Structure 1
Amino acid sequence: MAEDKIVFTRCKHAYLVMAHKDDETLRTLLRTLDDPRNDIFIHMDAKNTGWDENRALASIDKAGFFFVPRISVTWGGYSQIACELGLLNAAVDKGRYTYYHLLSGQDLPIKSQDRIHSFFDSCGGKEFVRFENHNRDYGSRIGGHVIWNAFGKSKTQIFLRKVDSLLARLLQLYRKPAEGLKLMKGDNWFSITDELARYIVENASLVRSVFWDSMCGDELFLQTFAWNTGKRFDFYRMPGEDNTDGIMRMIDWGEDESPRVLSMDDLDSISDSKMMFARKFDFEIDSDIVRAVEQLVC
């Protein structure tokens, strides 16, 4: 990357949006991020054939706004990682940002942009990356999951996923994709500094060589590469928390291990939360909470 291409965007934030639905939730997200201190980079899943870029552009007045080349994204497949790398690459190629925030198209900020910028400015360049159990072996997640990468979470593929697990075990006898790396796992959503963003982009080819046939590798790749640098990066820890690192996202995990769609019943919790962002919202399920959060932060 030529140095003369880089624009020094001091104190600006880059928002990296992975979207699959072109709906009012997404347009609300864009309006709540519309601030001259932000640049927004958006990827819309190529499977969405009705995507209208002009509708998205109509939501933006002050922020920089950039479309990322579209690919078809499969849940849990390597395409998730490829999408994140595409967003990161587009942002670091555009400028140097104080923070890079990965959000889905069903996330919303739950604090004003003044509060968000003030909070991250006060954090001394810490990385907001969550890690799960440091002592767990995540080796079964990588190597050989070629069927999973093709079909993802489809409920009709239960038999194929069993075959995929067998294939993965067999192929791992011949391939050790993470040899020398301690695999780490956590949420795929993050807020990271320019240094970590560039480190990941610079190692994109190595990321692919390790995770191209992984299962849900989007929960592993950034944690693994950031962790294996030793003490190069300083991770944020929520005050009073002993076992997890804060990513400043309010998420209510449902019984099926998927984020529960938030509703008006959650408005008080959202208002009182110390988090900066929340997920997930769906305008078709509860439009009132989407409108209420927009009024809360704007």
Structure 2
Amino acid sequence: MGKIGILIIAHKPIKYYEVLAKDNQEIDFFVHMDIKTNYINPEIGNLIFLKDELRVDVKWGGFSQVQATLNLLSFVLHNSNCEFFHIVSGEDIVVPVNKDLSESLTWSNSDIFMELTNSPRHRYRVRFFAPHVETIWQRKLVGKLLTFSLKILDKIFITQKDFWFGSNWFSIRRDELKIILNSITDNDISLFKHRLNPDEHFFQYMVVKAGLKDNISSKGNNRYIIFDKKYNNGNNPIYLNSDQLLKLKNIHFPFFARKVDVDNQLKYYERVNF
């Protein structure tokens, strides 16, 4: 079927993926470790860390998350023969159908596993220049007031234009990835650098721009995630424990589940008979 590449965006140690890489030598694992994070390279042959010149200082709500992903995708595309690309965070976990991960993480058509919705609720992020993005003010009162003002402007100036939204975590094959990366221009980069939360919009826009909207899988991004209003008002996924993951294995067949802390990642790995 072709080689699998699991591309990990992380900001702290990834002990689970170290174990997974050792036990799955046929799969290559590539890591963007936040430049703020010091780590000791475990020197596992199929676990490849981006060098410092490609590492980014990732900041919440800004383009740095997109840049880290672009750096990782470009590196793997040009420095490996991987056919299948899975973008994950350090807090994701593989949910295999069976012992053969290669069978669980591949597919036979040109589907792109990505969330892609037209979301009027989020369109203020893309419509307007945000001077406070990736500054110290973004999460302070002045930044919150600026963000609120953009929401008001969006309601005043009505538009029927589509505004694409979805998660930054997706899976894609080599040919479709090449089309998307080749479609990105300096203007695209410049636009999204000054928009709020571009990691939840950039690749969705590029898929549509590249004419690949019809390739989006009916399964979305094929990740298992639970949002609960009781946890951060539903803005972030809840953390899953190993018991929840074991139940998931028997009733669902997603590629990955998130979020899972390192203790539960390792506990789940120990308990499951791959």
Instruction: Give the alignment of 1:178-217 within 5 angstroms.
Output: 182-202=162-182, 203=184, 205-217=186-198
The aligned counterpart of 1:28 is 16
| Deviation of 1:215 (Å) | 0.8
Which of 213, 234, 248 does residue 222 from structure 2 map onto? Answer: 248
2:97, 2:104 within 8 Å by CA — same for their partners in 1?
Answer: no
Distance, in Å, in 1 between the alignment partners of 2:217 and 2:137 is 31
Separation of aligned partners in 2, 1:161 and 1:137: 16
SS at match of 1:93: helix
Task: Say yes or no: does 1:139 pair with 2:113.
Answer: no
Matches within 5 A, 1:2-151: 11-22=2-13, 26-34=14-22, 35-48=24-37, 51-55=38-42, 57=43, 60-61=44-45, 63=46, 65-68=48-51, 69-111=54-96, 115-132=100-117, 134=118, 136=120, 138-142=122-126, 143-151=128-136
Identical-residue share of aligned pairs (%): 23
Are the equivalent residues in 2 in contact too, given 1:41–1:65 (CA < 8 A)?
Answer: yes
Shift of 1:163: 2.7
Match of 2:253 in 1: 274
The separation in 1 between residues aligned to 2:21 and 2:269, in whole angstroms, is 12
Of the three residues 219, 244, 247, the one matched with 2:200 is 219
CA contact (8 A) 1:75 1:152 kept: no
Q: Which amino acid aligns with 2:20?
A: T
Post-superposition CA distance 1:179-235 (Å, at most 9, x none): xx8431111100011123223332153431220111111111111111233357522
CA root-mean-square deviation: 3.0
Q: Deviations over 1:63-106 (max 9, x none)?
A: 25242422211111011111111111111111342211111111
The count of corresponding residues between Structure 1 and Structure 2 is 260
Deviation of 1:167 (Å): 7.2
Aligned residue type for 1:197 = L
Q: Do structure 1's residue 234 and structure 2's residue 215 form an aligned pair? A: yes
Q: How much has 1:258 moved relative to structure 2?
A: 0.6
- Cα distance change, pair 185–229 in 1 and its aligned pair in 2 (3 A): same
The 1:137–1:75 alpha-carbon spacing in structure 2 relative to 1, beyond 3 Å, is same
Calculate the TM-score normalised by the size of structure 1: 0.75
In the TM superposition, residue 11 of structure 1 has moved relative to its aligned partner by: 0.7
